Amino acid sequence: MPDGLTHRKYHKRWQFPVFAVSTVVFGIIAMSLAVSENLYQAAYVLEFWFWINVWYSLGSVIDPDLDLLGVSKSEGEILKRYGVLGVFIFAYSSLYAASMHYIAMKLKVKGLFGAHRSWLTHSPIGTLIRVLFVNAPLAYLYQIVSVGLLAFDIRFEFSNLDLLVFFAAQLVGLGIADGIHVYLDSRE
């Protein structure tokens, strides 16, 4: 059974290949769009590329093992790296673990110690649930900041297409990281 350290090692090992492959693929698409005067679309392709890499790297802490009740390796990393903010993130990720545990019990999903390594958390469904969990406080924060800044006549808002690109790239970036994680788990 690969532990948290093994998962982190492989995640880090794949960081450069993910960056290199996505750079080649999206670089070619964006450049061909840009040369044919479609600068607007090219920019969105590159935005997608940027967010994929950001979310892949965040996949080392937002990983499927957050379903473990207690302190997982990634949660230990969050507490070590982010100080006081890490305490709040840890509390929130514990809410995720407890929720998954509860849902697994209700749906009679079989996993280790509750929901761990079940399809509920270690599958594309799990990735989608985590994305929704991550986005809930982000959306709330975005709302507060954009409304707060309006008081100073500053408009802080993103277009729907920007948000869609962000969300899609989040699914792909975390999906790749989770795919590596689940593959390592399945080898044992």
What is the contact surface with another protein in residues (CB under 8 A)? Answer: 9, 12-13, 15, 19, 23, 30, 34, 39-40, 42-43, 46-47, 49-50, 53-54, 57
Which one, 18 or 68, has the nearer CB to another protein? 18
Q: Rounded distance, CA 93 to CA 125, Å?
A: 17
CB of 122 to another protein, least distance (A): 24
Which one, 105 or 141, has the nearer CB to another protein? 141
Q: Rounded distance, CA 185 to CA 182, Å?
A: 5
The set of residues, in sequence order, having a beta carbon less than 8 Å from that of 54 and lying 6+ positions away, is: 169, 173
Which tokens hold the place of 185? 């788990």
Which one, 96 or 166, has the nearer CB to another protein? 166
CB of 173 to another protein, least distance (A): 11
Which one, 159 or 186, has the nearer CB to another protein? 159
